[in-house]
Structure 1
Amino acid sequence: MSMTMAASSSAPQSAGQRRGSTTWARPSGRRSCAATSARACAASARSSSCCRPRRSRRTCGCASGPRTSRKRRSSGPRASGATPRSNPFQRGLRRPRTTRSWASCPASSDACGWSNERAVAGEFEGARHDRNARESKRTVIMNNVNDIEETEGFIADQRDWLIEHKQTRALSWAQLHPLIGRPGSTLSLFAAGKYNGGPSASGNGEIAKHIFRFRQTLVRQTELKVEAPDIPTFFETKTASEIHHLLAWAQRGRMCYWVGGPGTGKTTAAKEYAQRASNVWHVEILRSTKTTMALCHQILEVMRDFTGPTGTARLSAYVMGKFRDTGGLLILDDAQNLDIDQIEEVRGWFDRTNVGVAFIGNPKVVSRMEGGSRAADFAQLYSRIGMRMIRALPLKDDIEALATAWQVQDEQVAATLHKIGSKPGGLRSCTYVMELAMMLARADNSELTVQHVHTAWTQLSSNPVVA
């Protein structure tokens, strides 16, 4: 454990007096560089900065901070060239020559002797049960794992953390696989100290580095959750109410479509309806969904059914059987990605099972179905459309609902949101702007102002909003 030097009396002393009578104390937490204190100012007599780096201890030399009862007193001046005992918790970490302060000192950001690697060493220091609390409070600089030596101490620390994290979060090895990037069986052997034949065998260091990267990511994402505002969940807008009405009509065994521009809230409203009504399957069509078989697989995945037969005809009949007598609704989002063969297959399901079908997409859906040489191809489909709605931009009431969800009180901020919402992107752009603007306001420790909104929009778009 690193040691710090404290003055033996509260009155300011000269550098010679301080070196003649010293008290060595074990710190109980993270050091605080209060350079304005009397004892910290006395340190400037022997150094131009408040913190002097040590040979093997990278602790701050300021004389402020918590003390514990465990002390070792020195009977005389410290011998020149004497090197304190090394910190056993910093084993395996090389000292980078170019890195500087991790928790910078208020007096001089380059003065503090804590290096990035030593700060990470503090990650492994102290009681295991208090580790997560310390990680959530620190501002961590993410370190390159290639600068860390694969020592037994480093590997053992990652193994202990992995076991504790798995137990605390009640995760399985299979669930940790995509998070850490190593197979669950490999992580299990590593935790048991049996990977490649032993806890120190080759390959353990690479796994430990993967775990260390995951730890750094968790800490950083936790900090962002603290900094970032909570984005409002679904809020009722006039457009959302109209979409819900259309979907409810479609679930009566009708075929409908809703066409809207980007940021009108069509996908959010469709997902919300699927959470409220039974037997509603919301399928987002990908551009890679080029065949009828691919469409069937996507529908079955939404149904959580992974036992479908092989072959396009048999698979389509299987999906049709899943629809029959359910009174359900199939929502095909991003329907502009469907081709004519897939749409005709959906029409066949609709005719034979009376399942409701709702197409949701951008204006390309209308142009494909109504215009050009394919108008005749979609004649049978179009004759079955029971309701259709088209909206290019959000309504004024939609933007007001968004401002209310964000608890916007400033009239200038609300007016700016209306200007942003009237541009392509609509409600989505307003959400991104408000998220960034709230973070800027928190950084300034002030209330949200129109200037924060303008700054956020400038960073997100090349088209500034006219005040």
Structure 2
Amino acid sequence: MRTTKAPRRAEAFIVTKEHRRFMEFANVVRKERYIGLCYGAAGVGKTQSARRYAHWQSVEPLLTRWGPRDEADKKIYATLARSRVLFFTPDVRANFGALRHQIDDLLGRINVCIDQHTGKTARTLPWDYVELVVLDEAERLNTAALEYLRDLFDRNDIGLILIGMPGIEKRMSRYPQLYSRVGFAHHYRPLLGDELSFVLARHWQKLGLQLDGADFTDAQAIASIARITGGNFRLLRRLFLQIERVLRVNDLTVITDDVVNAARSTLVIGVS
């Protein structure tokens, strides 16, 4: 079974305004049992927010490497019992059969874990526990897979969130039976203004530096970074990896406009 792999380079999660807006959106979809659409440019943080909301970083290793249990797994059982969220990324060109099989496998494993936590041994329905399904990369779904999700939503008392790129809401409108069940839409936007400055300060700190907005050198570097990345989380991380390299290679201790541009020259800039 395949689900989203955790990133190899673990990054400390930064709670932004957009993440809080996503949480509010997800909570409403879950409470009202609607279908919700979340869309935004690649790299703005949609997937990270969804994984964080579902506590997927913690529970995914156990669910995907299914095997003998040990005492430490009880923490994961408790997390799943609190979360009640199934997060899933379909394979490219996911078809109905594969999607159903993979979701059923994940659902069964989540149910077993929550049974272990609650001490229950019998459930009346397979969806007694999971309250929300979050499906990333929804553009990969073909018509049959979308119809399966609509049927899954109709037959069970669950909320469903489909995450994708801008334009997914227009694509879904071509499927009136599914689109008529969409109750909420959330546009996930890039970092701007003070929030971008806050995130940049965190990046400065990770390099052992102090960001001073009143320092012209720092202000110039901030302006260059904002222009290059457009507030895109993924590009920020890629750019700062190169900034760190430029500082180290040249034995520098200040991020200047020249350092930023040198780092930018090594990247293939694109939101991908």
Q: Give me the TM-score of the superposition, normalised by structure 2.
A: 0.69
Counterpart position of 1:299: 103
* Number of the residue aligned with 1:413: 221
Residues in 2 aligned to 1:400 and 1:231: alpha-carbon distance in whole angstroms? 22
The residue that corresponds to 2:18 in the other structure is: 239
C-alpha separation in 2, matches of 1:454 and 1:368: 38
Identity %: 25
- Judged with a 3 Å threshold, the aligned counterparts in structure 2 of structure 1 residues 345 and 438 are, in CA distance, closer, same or farther, namely same
Which one has the bigger helix percentage? 2
Residue 341 of structure 1: SS of its match in structure 2?
Answer: helix
Higher relative contact order (Cα pairs below 8 Å, separated by 6+ residues): 2
Distance of aligned partners of 1:462 and 1:381 in 2 relative to their CA distance in 1, 3 Å threshold = closer
User: Within the alignment, does 1:288 sit opposite 2:85 as a pair?
Assistant: no
Q: In structure 2, what is the Cα distance between the partners aligned to 1:438 and 1:304?
A: 44
Deviation of the 1:338 alpha carbon: 0.9
Aligned mate of 1:429, from 230, 235, 244:
235
Contact 2:93–2:142 (8 Å) recurs in 1: no
Q: Letter of the aligned partner of 2:263 in structure 1?
A: A
**1:326 is matched with which residue?**
129
Name the aligned partner's letter for residue 459 of structure 1: T
Q: Which has the larger radius of gyration?
A: 1
Check 1:286–1:364 CA distance in 2 against 1; reply closer, same or farther (3 A cut): farther
Q: How does 1:347-366 map to 2 (within 5 A)?
A: 347-366=150-169
Q: How does 1:175-254 map to 2 (within 5 A)?
A: 232-252=11-31, 253-254=33-34
Q: Which moved more, 1:335-344 or 1:407-416?
A: 407-416
Q: Which residue of the other structure, out of 399, 402, 405, is the alignment partner of 2:199?
A: 402
* Alpha-carbon distance, 1:254 to partner: 2.0
Structure 2 unaligned blocks of 5 or more: 1-7, 56-78, 111-123, 205-209, 212-217
Q: 1:261 to 1:461 in 2, by over 3 A?
A: same
Q: Distance in 1 between matches of 2:93 and 2:243?
A: 36
Q: Give the match's secondary structure for 2:128.
A: coil
Sort the Cα spacing of 1:294 and 1:396 in 2 relative to 1 into closer, same or farther, 3 A: farther
Contact 2:37/2:169, CA 8 A, preserved across alignment: no
Question: Contact 1:433 / 1:460 at 8 angstroms: preserved in 2?
Answer: yes
Q: Deviations over 1:105-128 (max 9, x none)?
A: xxxxxxxxxxxxxxxxxxxxxxxx
- If the length of structure 1 is used for normalisation, what is the TM-score? 0.42
Instruction: Give, as a single letter, the amino acid of the residue that structure 1 aligns with 2:187.
Output: I
Structure 1 unaligned regions, length at least 5: 1-224, 307-319
